[in-house]
Amino acid sequence: AQSVTQPDIHITVSEGASLELRCNYSYGATPYLFWYVQSPGQGLQLLLKYFSGDTLVQGIKGFEAEFKRSQSSFNLRKPSVHWSDAAEYFCAVGKGGSTLGRLYFGRGTQLTVWP
Amino acid sequence: EPEVTQTPSHQVTQMGQEVILRCVPISNHLYFYWYRQILGQKVEFLVSFYNNEISEKSEIFDDQFSVERPDGSNFTLKIRSTKLEDSAMYFCASSPGQGNIQYFGAGTRLSVL
């Protein structure tokens, strides 16, 4: 069965510190992988996506993620966190090679940033 | 930047009442979706819609739910007779059909009393 696991419900970091949010997935076919961010009162904004090719993908706001097929992981990273990065982050997986189809989401990781 | 718009932002209703949640997808998109998130739980897929018909629906999307694209711009989710367990945040999404990139609205929080 398809599933996405985000093992960390809540992470707190200091501003300027590095960040890594973990995501593991289970999917029976080649996946498309996504990270979304949700700020209070806002929708889910796409940070980055992985379809194929280079396993290190760059996104908006200085985020990057690395796809590791052997570990079924797609962890999100940022070298230096800003206070405005405080939000909830969702990892999602969809069917690779498809133009449509449902996304499976993880439970989300709430990020708090200390000044 | 184009965005998906959802109205209302918060809907309060009595159990057993019908509600219609409205969405205006991004104008040149072809695929439309509804998801929901019960408080503290995962975002869950409800239904996808393409070419004026349902493409896929989840086990959650039973006969109490329906979707419609009544004109060229709106995409609605109707719940015929709401239950307490329908209380959730409902997200609309649309996609241009390239690589299944889905763009989400801010959501409608439905509270069933």
Candidate from A51-55, A76-80, A82-86 with smallest mean pLDDT:
A51-55
Tell if the CB–CB gap between B100 and A105 is shorter than 8 Å: no
Do the Cβ atoms of A99 and B98 come within 8 Å?
yes
Contact A21, A33 (CB under 8 A): no
Binary contact (B104, A101; C-beta < 8 A): no
CATH number, domain at B61?
2.60.40.10
The first and second tokens of residue A102, run together, are 């449902």
Nearest CA in chain A to B43: A105
Domain count, chain B: 1
Chain B residues in contact with A49 by the CB 8 A cut-off are 99, 101
* Interval A29-36 mean pLDDT: 88
Q: What is the residue whose two structure tokens read 């965005």?
A: B3
Q: Where are any strands of DSSP class E within chain B?
A: 5-7, 10-13, 19-24, 31-37, 43-50, 53-57, 65-68, 75-79, 88-95, 103-104, 108-112
Closest partner residue to B4 among A43, A92, A101, by Cβ? A43
pLDDT per residue as tens digits for the range B96-111: 876 678 999 999 999 9
Q: What is the pLDDT of residue A30?
A: 77
Query: Is the pLDDT at A84 greater than 80, yes or no?
Result: yes
Question: Domains in chain A, ordered, with CATH?
Answer: 3-114 (2.60.40.10)
Q: What is the DSSP letter of A1?
A: -
The band of B40, judged by pLDDT with boundaries at 50, 70 and 90, is: confident
Backbone CA torsion sign across B19, A37, A60, A3: negative
Interface of A with B in 43-102 (CB under 8 A): 43-46, 49, 51, 90, 92, 94-95, 98-102
Answer yes or no: is pLDDT of A72 > 90. yes
Q: What is the pLDDT of residues A51-62, one digit of tens each?
A: 888 899 999 999
Strands B19-24 and B5-7: what pairing?
antiparallel
Would you call B54 helix, strand, or coil by DSSP? Answer: strand
pLDDT at A41: 76
Q: Answer yes or no: is pLDDT of A99 > 70.
A: no
**Least confident segment among A75-84, B69-78, B80-89:** B69-78
Which has the closest alpha carbon to A2: A108, A89, A101? A101
Query: Across the interface, do B100 and A107 touch by the CB < 8 Å criterion?
Result: no
**Cβ of A54: how many Cβ atoms within 10 Å?**
9
pLDDT surpasses 80 at A1:
no
Report the pLDDT value the prediction gives residue B20, as an integer from 0 to 100.
97
Q: Which candidate in A45, A46, A102, A107 is best for mutational testing of the B interface (most B CBs within 10 A)? A: A102
Average pLDDT of chain B is 93
Non-local (6+) Cβ contacts of A13 within 8 A are: A19, A81, A111, A112, A113, A114
Q: Are B19 and B64 in contact (CB under 8 A)?
A: no
In this structure, what token pair is assigned to residue B55?
A: 């493409």
Percent of all residues in chain B with a pLDDT value above 70, rounded to a whole number:
98
Domain that holds residue B30: 5-112
